[in-house]
Amino acid sequence: MTSTIRIAGVDEHFNAPWHIGINSGSFMDHNIAVEWYTAYGGSGEMSKLLRDNKVDVCVLLTEGIITDIINGNPSKIVGNYIQSPLTWGVHSGASNPLDNYNDAFSGKYAISRKGSGSHLMPIVDAITKGKTVSQDQFVVVGNLDGALQSLSKNETDVFYWEKFTTKPYVDNGTLKRIGEYNSPWPCFTIAATELAISTKSDEIQKILSTIYRLNEEFMRSPDSVDYVCNHYHLSKEDTEHWFYFTEWALNDYISYKMIDNVQFFLTEAGIVDKRIDPERMCLKF
């Protein structure tokens, strides 16, 4: 009998192993039909999907799910997905006079939503550089398209977003990249709803074991760079730089120390007002 697992993730190259697995029937080999939902609203949208039980599993930014669990989302982190940090490009609009990364901390920041990675990372970046930013510097723009519009009108000055996702806009002159920042923790984790954990535990474990095998195959395959080039419209050079910087997880290990690290910066940034025991956030099968 076939079971259905609803999985959400962003439309980015990091999720290539999921799509390869779905298209090749790797999950169906375990009698699991994966229904993939592309979350254009990012981790904020996925956190809501988990809360509302509209999906069973999400692949989302580590800081995003930790924030939402602290704020009452009953979902659990069930595994790591990307071991390496996310490289955030620091951008400004093409006509904005801002050119110096060190001057960015006094500008207006475009963010997808309060508590998002695009909100947290400028604060973490400022803290680690001995700078300060205030909450009134942040302007919610919704998503990447909203940021492009806001930056082009010079309504905002700075925008943090995954470097290679925004690369086409840098190449065509819509954006200027004035700097980069690597998140100080692994960037993507896998979370599941309490309902899915209680009713589809075996299926989730099979999903995890399958994606970790697919991750290893993807990292070892000589065709992976070409696959990403063709499916995500990146240049060969950009894809190679991204691919050889990125490491996918091969098991579900989650470091409690890493979760504490994220919570420290979330509280320092004023995004959350408390910390909780990392064991309460995770389910280890």
Contact 181, 160 (CB under 8 A): yes
- pLDDT band, residue 8 (cuts 50/70/90): very high
pLDDT level of residue 181 (50, 70, 90 thresholds): very high
Say which amino acid occupies 70: I
Domain 87-182 class?
Answer: alpha beta
Contact assessment for residue 90 and residue 181, using Cβ atoms and an 8 Å cutoff: yes
Q: Are strands 87-93 and 175-182 parallel, antiparallel or unpaired?
A: antiparallel
Domain 3-84+186-281, architecture per CATH: 3-Layer(aba) Sandwich (3.40)
**Cβ-contact 110, 185 below 8 angstroms:** no
Taking phi first (over 0 means left), then psi (-120 to 50 degrees means alpha), and beta for anything else, what does residue 40 get? alpha
Q: What is the pLDDT of residue 114?
A: 86
Residue 267 scores a pLDDT above 90: yes
Residues composing the chain: 285
Q: What pLDDT does 42 receive?
A: 86
pTM for the model: 0.92
Cα-to-chain-centroid distance, residue 138? 20
Contact 41, 158 (CB under 8 A): no
Number of alpha carbons in the 13 Å side-chain half-sphere of residue 110:
27
Tens-place pLDDT, residues 24-62: 999 999 999 999 999 988 888 999 999 999 999 999 999
Mean pLDDT of 58-76: 96
In the chain, which residues fall in CATH 3.40.190.10?
3-84+186-281, 87-182
Asked if 68 contacts 47 with a C-beta cutoff of 8 angstroms, the reply is: yes
- Nearest one of 159, 165, 59 to 117, comparing CA atoms: 159
Model confidence pLDDT, tens digit, residues 234-262: 899 999 999 999 999 999 999 999 999 99
